[in-house]
Each structure stands twice: as structure tokens, then as C-alpha cells.
Amino acid sequence: MDPADTPAPSKLATAAAADNDAPRHSPLARVGLLCFTLLVVYASLYPFTGWTDNGISPFAFLTAPRPRYITGFDLLTNVIGYCPFGALVVLSLHPRISGARATLIALVAGALLSCSMEALQTWLPNRISSNIDVITNALGALLGGAVAAPMAAALIDRGVLLHLRVAWFKPHASFAIILILLWPFAQIFPQEHLFGMGGILREWITDPDSWPMQWLESIFPSLPEWQWMAGLRAEDMQTQQWLETAVTACSWIGTGLFASIAMRRNAPMLRFLVVLLAAALLIKASAAELQFPDDNAFNWLSEGGRFALLTSTLALALLLRLPRWLRAVLSLAALAALVVLANVLPSNPYAWISEQGWRMGRYIHFNSLARWLGWMWPFLAVCYVVWRFEEAGLRRRARRKALKARQARKDQDETARNTGQ
């Protein structure tokens, strides 16, 4: 995809050392702030249904008495939940604004965001607006900003993270890095098959009350005939294992190649991917243990999934040697195959039981967020790969245009010399 690959490690180190004294901003922090803000909005307003005007002012909660039912766990969750927001605000403002001013802005931004969410919750019957939530959320943003402010320069200008960012990833890979960091969390909610992301179309088609189905049924009266996918069932356990092997292999190969596209040729790609895979498995197991402490935390790791992870990791060791553009093509193909398989393959009856438990689990809003992340991740990854192709095409066209202009000037100079003679 890029005709000229990365400079040598020594050149990277020299360039990083030369810029060491120059303050720099962090696109990664700004993308992270945007993503985290959207996460807060989602977690605060989910499920986005049942909006009702009850005649109460949206800001009446500011002067309301203290809620009767509030626990220490609720207070701690509200504080911790906004700490990353405050830290990302401070890191996003660096180097233009730093220190105490950046921390104060983080406090104000956290309070405004929390106050806005609480005001909107006034119209949601299943939510309770609370001034205590605003206070604890603002405190969390303040703490996060206060912790990040002294470390902003070290993290962004001269820290280990900066060295790894420069040495391992391409200059414009901030969005891809965010997706890579989110990928382990996209596996938390149970899918039909291990790593079976992108199954949002199946969810819509099998739910006649979903808004896409209601809209389509108003246009196509015969739409219920399209729901043949909902009735498919695997015939036996062996079939399910092979299906899970196919889905998991497509998902892991597509993800691994996607990550390699954003990385430099000299980066330790395979070791990075092994760590990423281990993190995903541990996070998924930890979430399962936290959700259902009485069950085996690794119930979801079936024989088909284990076989797929082993074989696809070996395949990645070979595929990572391919040119970047070919890895991008294969990543698109694998992710597209994943989305198709996740939406049309027979349902896994064992996954349904686990999914129902997670739907009604103790962390229902977090579970729903993890589910949406798993649904949308492959589509966002495909968008990034397509953008990289478009960027590479624009650079090639710019180079061809520059070569033509240079050749035209040479021809003009040659014509002028011949005319002068």
C-alpha cells in the first residue's frame, strides 16, 4: 500500500532525538477523548428509548435533595468512570495549555458533560437524574486531570510511549491504534462464535421489533420471508466446531493483518499480536468471572476456537512477511468474510444461553456497550483500511503529477535551448 516503507530504526531514533525538545500534540489522545466521550454518552443514555416529557425541568435535579438510595459502590464508580475523561482532556490540550489551567478545564469539561447527561436523563423513565452524580463525575475528571497534568510532557514529548509510537506505528495511525486497543474489549460480550464480531445484521433480522426491520417491513411487505436465517440450527457439535473455527480464523487473521497495516516494517508485529491475543483472552475470562463467579471463566473457549487461534496465529507468522498493500487486501477479505459468516451461519444454541445471562447481568449497561463495540469493530476497521488505500492512491497521483510537471519543464528547457541555438 505504501511504496516506500519506513525509514531505518537509526533514522527514527535520530529524528525522535532531534525533536525531543519540541513540544508536540497527541492525535492519539484527541481521538481517545472523542471515543471516550461517545462512550460516556452511550452509557448515560442507553437504551435511547422511552423518551417522555414529564413536565419537569431538565435542570431540576440540581436543587433536588440527596437521593435516598445511593451506595459507596455507586459513588466510587462515578468517580472512577470520569477519571480517564479528565486525563484525556489534559493530554489533548498539551502543549497549548498545561498544568493547573488544563486541570481546571478538565474539571469544567467533566462537570458540563455530566450535567448534560443528567439533564437528558430527565426524559428517560428508566434513569434518575442526580446532582450527586454530577459532583462525583466532576471530581473524577478533576482527579484524572490532576494525575495526568504533571506527566503530560513526559508521556507525549519524551516518554517510552512516544518512543514506541514512533518506532512501531505509522505517523497517521492514531485511529487504528484506538481500534487495536479496543479490540480485546470487543470480545467481552458472548458472540455466536468466538471472536464473531459484526453480527449486527443478524440481530436486526431476527428481531421484528428492531427499527431497521420495522422500516423495511413498511417498504417490503414480504420481508418476513427473509428471516430464514433465524431458523437455522447446527446439526451436531462437530458442525459447530468447524463453524467456530472458520469464524475465529477469519476474525483473528483479519485483525492481525489490520494491526500490521498501521505498524512499521521493523516493528515486532508477531510479538505484539501475541500479546494482543493474550490480553483479549484474559480480559474476556476476567469479565466472565466477574459476571458469573460460579461458572468456569473459560467456558467460551471451545475446541474449535482453540484450533482456530493456533492455526491462524501460525498463518499470520507467514502473512506478515507480505507487502503492505497485499496485507491490506487480505485484511479486507478476512473482515468481510467474518461479517458475512457472523450474520448468515447457523445460530449456536449454546451461545444463546450465555447471551441471555449477560443481557440481564449485574453490569447490563457495560454489557450492552461491549456488545455494540463487537458489532461495529470490523466495520470501523474496514473504513480505516479503505481510507489508507485512498490515501496511498492520492499520494501516487500526486507523485505522477509532479513527475509530469518536472518532465514538462525539462522539455520546455530543452526546446528553449534548441531554439536559442
- pLDDT band, very low/low/confident/very high, at 16 (cuts 50, 70, 90): very low
Distances (CA, A) of 223 to 42, 200, 219: 30, 17, 9
Neighbours of 382 (CB within 10 A): 19
Inform me whether the pLDDT recorded for 325 exceeds 80.
Answer: yes
CA distance 416 to 413: 5
pLDDT tens readout for residues 223-249: 444 444 444 444 555 567 788 889 999
CA distance 167 to 15: 11
> What residues form DSSP beta bridges with 233?
347
**CB-based contact 390:383 (threshold 8 Å):** no
Kindly report the CA angle at 7 between 317 and 181, in degrees rounded to 5? 50
* Rg of the chain over all Cα atoms, to the nearest angstrom: 26
Residues 189-201: what's their mean pLDDT?
A: 82
**Under DSSP, is residue 315 helix (H, G, I), strand (E, B) or coil?**
helix
| Phi and psi, residue 194, nearest 5° | -55, 130
Listed residue (27, 149, 23, 178) closest to 83, CA to CA: 149
pLDDT tens readout for residues 251-307: 999 999 999 999 998 999 999 999 999 999 998 888 877 776 767 778 788 888 899
CA distance 27 to 399: 27
If one compares 255 and 164, the residue with the highest pLDDT of the two is 255
Inform me whether the pLDDT recorded for 148 exceeds 70.
Answer: yes
- State the residue for C-alpha cell 510532557: 153
**pLDDT the model gives residue 398:** 86
CA distance 67 to 280: 38
**pLDDT the model gives residue 19:** 44
- State the residue for C-alpha cell 489508507: 388
If one compares 316 and 208, the residue with the highest pLDDT of the two is 316
The amino acid at residue 131 is N
Percent of the chain clearing pLDDT 90 (strictly above):
29
Highest mean pLDDT range out of 165-179, 345-359, 373-387? 373-387
Inform me whether the pLDDT recorded for 200 exceeds 80.
Answer: no
Asked if residue 47 has a cis previous peptide bond (ω within 30° of 0), the answer is yes
Inform me whether the pLDDT recorded for 156 exceeds 80.
Answer: no
Give me the count of residues in the chain.
421
> What residues form DSSP beta bridges with 347?
233
Distances (CA, A) of 134 to 48, 71, 80, 342, 413: 20, 15, 13, 40, 71
pLDDT tens readout for residues 347-369: 665 554 555 555 444 455 566 67
**CB-based contact 359:47 (threshold 8 Å):** no
Ranges of H-type helices in 206-236: 211-219
If one compares 39 and 21, the residue with the highest pLDDT of the two is 39
In the chain, where the domains are located: 24-158, 179-408
| Phi and psi, residue 263, nearest 5° | -100, 160
> What residues form DSSP beta bridges with 125?
none
**CB-based contact 378:340 (threshold 8 Å):** no
- pLDDT band, very low/low/confident/very high, at 309 (cuts 50, 70, 90): very high
What one-character DSSP code corresponds to residue 267? S
What one-character DSSP code corresponds to residue 159? S
**Longest CA–CA separation in the chain, Å:** 98
Residues 152-174: what's their mean pLDDT?
A: 78
**CB-based contact 46:102 (threshold 8 Å):** no
Instruction: Kindly tell me the number of DSSP H helices and DSSP E strands found in the chain.
Output: 16, 0
Residues sharing a CB contact under 8 Å with residue 389, sequence separation 6 or more, in sequence order: 1, 328
pTM above 0.75, yes or no: no
Inform me whether the pLDDT recorded for 81 exceeds 50.
Answer: yes
Q: Which of 48-52, 131-135, 194-198, 273-277 is predicted with the least confidence, judged by mean pLDDT? A: 48-52
If one compares 51 and 101, the residue with the highest pLDDT of the two is 101
